[in-house]
Amino acid sequence: APKPPQAETTQQNLPAVEAVQQASQLAQEGAADTPVAQKAVASAQRVRVKTDVLDIELDTLGGDIRVARLLKFAASSEEKDKPFTLLSDTGPLFHIIQNGLTSPVEGQPAPTHKVRWHTPKTEYALKGENLVVPFTWEQGGVKVTKTYTFEPGSYVVKVTYQVENRSGQVWQGALYSQIQRNRYVPNASKLIWTYTGPVFYDPENKYQKVDFDELLAQPISAKAVQGGWTAMIQHYFLSAIIPPQDQQNIYFGKPLAQDRFAVGVVSPVTKIADGQQASFQHRYFIGPAIEELLEPLAEGLELTKDYGVLTFIAEPLFWVLKAIYSLVGNWGWAIIILTVLIKLAFYKLSETSYRSMAKLKQFHPKLQQLKENYGDDKQLFQQKLMQLYREEKINPMGGCLPILVQMPVFIALYWVLLYSVEIRQAPWILWIDDLSAPDPYYVLPLIMGASMWVQMKLNPTTMMDETQQKVMQLMPIIFTIFFLWFPSGLVLYWVVNNILSIAQQWYITRKIEQEG
């Protein structure tokens, strides 16, 4: 059979801007679930789609993705038999994906996310290589078939629109997709903040967070980008819209009613002559922030696993952590082994630091003598102190600088443990059955506090006044209280690091004493 003539895709700004304005307006109109809208949603049919990793609910009213459950991830450590819900239109969380066609030509029929679609079945299950879920709509000689395509083991959902124009005139339209979300953060920690909200990516500006308050203050009305993508991210998970990367797409983001927000994209306007047909496609990612799943989909999508400014350190650290896990099969032991390896890598720097601290400790009697002799004259005391440093060959910053050099690595490891979904609900030993949750019996935080107190006792307080010394004595108590609610994986890392530091400092101090 001969192929139908190709439809014309236009990159003209005017139709595209009109299309994005229409799509954005539709988002605004559909945001508030008025009693009429709620009744319409309730009367529409839900279409259930199950794969090996996703349990999806589609709605025949709009063809929206209204619910998405991740079958490989438990809702919480308390509800391990219940899958995690990422998208939902009920309860405190409102988080859905919508799509449709919009036309810049007034009066032309186009199926937006507000029309009713027809589908042959209401239950679908993936059994083969892929699963196609079709919806149909027809009006004024324009026939549209919308299909959602699912693949085994994949969190990618493809939406394809096939438009057949028999209207007797040229039809113009553009595909848009949008994510609606409110501010609700499931299982939010009171002490540990993680970003929840919109992100955008384009080749020029790269990865950008635009939080809800920024959208309130300055909505994004029509931003033209070659390729790009947008997403709503939260701790461990994300929903993303990935349009074709070889075309100019227009992005928008705006506040809606009822404390909801929408981010979305409109692809270029396509002209379809009478008797011709054309297709449109967007991809969605609905799942965990796992780098190897995200990297192949679009440039920069893996950045949604957000390690912050220390990404360049955090990524190789996670690679090593994952390699250790592949050998030992337990994330708790992998954290311990990685912490040991890091301490070994910085052994020489730590030795320099502890040697400097040991010298300061030996220096204490002479310092006390200086205070007695010149304590009333601060300027003279400082001069004599500097002279004594030179005579004794002591660098007062010698104990701090090696520690400062190591800090970025330890902070990066902190972010790795906090943001890696692989560690979510991962068990260690005994009562620690979820490294992403606080220790239920507070054993690890108490050990951490005790180890911090021992460390403090080993460090010299020669340069501190009485007030500073009292503050330092309170630090183990303050940190213990904070760490009671920290994820046990983070506390485990801190405990191991403290114990290794104590052992290393004790060994080096004894070695210095033997050297005389």
In a domain, 2, yes or no: no
Higher pLDDT, 377 or 292: 292
Structural domain of 201: 8-306
In this predicted structure, what is the pLDDT of residue 395? 62
pLDDT band for 379, please (50, 70, 90 cuts): confident
Q: What is the mean pLDDT of residues 302-316?
A: 89
Same domain, 335 and 443: yes
Between the alpha carbon of residue 77 and those of residues 81, 257, 437, 439, 475, the distances in Å are: 9, 33, 8, 12, 31
Range of weakest confidence among 32-46, 147-161, 259-273, 434-448: 32-46
Same domain, 342 and 439: yes
Same domain, 146 and 107: yes
Same domain, 369 and 261: no
pLDDT, tens digit, 9 for 90 and up, residues 479-515: 888 888 888 888 998 899 889 988 887 887 777 777 6
| Angle formed at CA 240 by CA 125 and CA 225, multiple of 5 degrees | 135
Between the alpha carbon of residue 140 and those of residues 162, 163, 194, the distances in Å are: 16, 12, 49
pTM for this structure?
0.83
Same domain, 163 and 65: yes
In this predicted structure, what is the pLDDT of residue 260? 94
Last residue of a domain, one of 306, 321, 342: 306
The residue among 444, 472, 468 whose CA lies nearest residue 456 is 472
Same domain, 299 and 322: no
Same domain, 80 and 218: yes
pLDDT at residue 31 greater than cutoff 50? no
Same domain, 196 and 132: yes
Q: What is the mean pLDDT of residues 327-334?
A: 95
Last residue of a domain, one of 257, 284, 306: 306
- Give yes or no for a contact between 99 and 118, defined as CB atoms under 8 angstroms apart: no
Residue type, 134: P
The residue among 65, 6, 90 whose CA lies nearest residue 276 is 6
Residue type, 460: P
In a domain, 420, yes or no: yes
Burial profile 491-515: b = 16 or more Cβ within 10 angstroms, e = fewer: bbbbbbbbbbbbebbeebbeebeee
What's 286's domain CATH number? 2.70.98.90
pLDDT band for 274, please (50, 70, 90 cuts): very high
Distance CA 432, CA 434 (A): 6
pLDDT at residue 435 greater than cutoff 70? yes
pLDDT band for 32, please (50, 70, 90 cuts): very low
In this predicted structure, what is the pLDDT of residue 347? 80
Q: What is the 3-state secondary structure (H, E, C) of 329-397?
A: CCHHHHHHHHHHHHHHHCHHHHHHHHHHHHHHHHCHHHHHHHHHHHCCCHHHHHHHHHHHHHHHCCCCC
Compute and round to an integer the Cα radius of gyration of the chain: 30
451: number of Cβ within 10 Å: 20
In this predicted structure, what is the pLDDT of residue 468? 62
Same domain, 265 and 190: yes
Which residue is associated with the tokens 């605004």? Answer: 28
In a domain, 3, yes or no: no
Q: What is the mean pLDDT of residues 392-402?
A: 59
Same domain, 227 and 178: yes
pLDDT, tens digit, 9 for 90 and up, residues 84-134: 999 999 989 999 999 999 998 988 999 999 999 999 999 999 998 899 999
pLDDT band for 459, please (50, 70, 90 cuts): low
Overall number of domains in the chain? 2
In a domain, 1, yes or no: no
The residue among 217, 254, 280 whose CA lies nearest residue 25 is 254
Secondary structure percentages of the chain, helix, strand, coil, to 5: 40, 30, 35
Which residue is associated with the tokens 């801007």? Answer: 17
Contacts of 230 (CB under 8 A, 6+ apart): 179, 198, 199, 200, 201, 240, 241, 251, 253, 263, 264, 265
pLDDT band for 465, please (50, 70, 90 cuts): low
Same domain, 257 and 349: no
3-state secondary structure of 141: coil
Tokens, residue 497: 């690091």
In a domain, 462, yes or no: yes
Strand partners for 87: 68
Higher pLDDT, 429 or 187: 429
Last residue of a domain, one of 254, 284, 306: 306
